[in-house]
Amino acid sequence: MKIRVGFGYDVHQLAEGEEFWLGGIQLTHSKGCVAHSDGDVLIHAICDALLGASNLRDIGFHFPDTSSDFKNIDSKILLKKTVKLITDKGFSIGNIDATIALQQPKIKPLIPEMQKVLSDVMEIDLEDLAIKATTTEKLGFVGTEDGIAAYATVLIQKL
């Protein structure tokens, strides 16, 4: 069995009046992500990690923000397509460990719902997807609530 790891990172600006999608669910908040798609940084970080681990470049290569095909697209669709890309190459997901950096709103109670939605999209066991949340103690663009960041590490395997 061959195993590989991948790392993904995404960041989006937060602004008043934008929808806020995170982990495949819509949050109620005064701000949301400025983006070409729905701006779901967690899904984008996971996609990049999966694509990188399988040596399939990055999310921008497969789903460019210059294409009208992806304007306002639900990022769960991008995740589903990403999983198909890696499975077509013979890989399966071992596990995913992700961290969201966000000052507000507090999302700890929403993490189980995010895990359920994303594990269903990727068709993996709930136990194989860890999602954590942190703040930056009011430092940087996350701390000033100007943006959000997400990090993901994945393990994939090829039989």
62 among annotated binding-site residues: no
Residue 60 counted as an annotated binding residue: yes
**Banded model confidence at residue 122, pLDDT cuts 50, 70, 90:** very high
pLDDT for 57 beyond 80: yes
Residues with Cβ within 8 Å of residue 138, at least 6 apart in sequence: 103, 144
Asked if omega into 105 is within 30° of 0 (cis), the reply is yes
The answer on pLDDT for 3 being more than 90 is yes
Question: What is the pLDDT at residue 125?
Answer: 98
pTM over 0.85: yes
Residue 135, marked binder: yes
Where do the domains of the chain lie?
A: 2-158
Q: Residue 37, annotated ligand binder?
A: yes
Ligand-binding site membership of 69 (annotated):
no
Output DSSP code: residue 29.
-
Alpha carbon distance 11, 46 (integer Å): 12
Say if strands 91-101 and 129-134 run parallel, antiparallel, or are unpaired. Answer: parallel
2-158 to CATH, choices 3.40.50.300, 3.30.560.10, 3.30.1330.50, 3.40.640.10? 3.30.1330.50
pLDDT digits (tens, 9 = 90+) for 72-114: 799 999 999 999 999 999 999 999 999 999 999 999 999 999 9
Find out whether 17 is annotated in a ligand binding site.
no
Question: Does 18 carry a binding-site annotation?
Answer: no
Give the N- to C-terminal CA distance of the chain in Å, as an integer: 5
Consult the annotation and say whether 20 binds a ligand. no
Instruction: Determine if residue 137 is labeled as part of a ligand binding site.
Output: yes
Q: Which are the contacts of 28, defined by CB distance < 8 A and separation ≥ 6? A: 20, 105
Q: How far is residue 155 from each of residues 80, 86, 141, measured CA to CA in Å?
A: 17, 12, 29
**36 labeled part of a ligand binding site:** yes
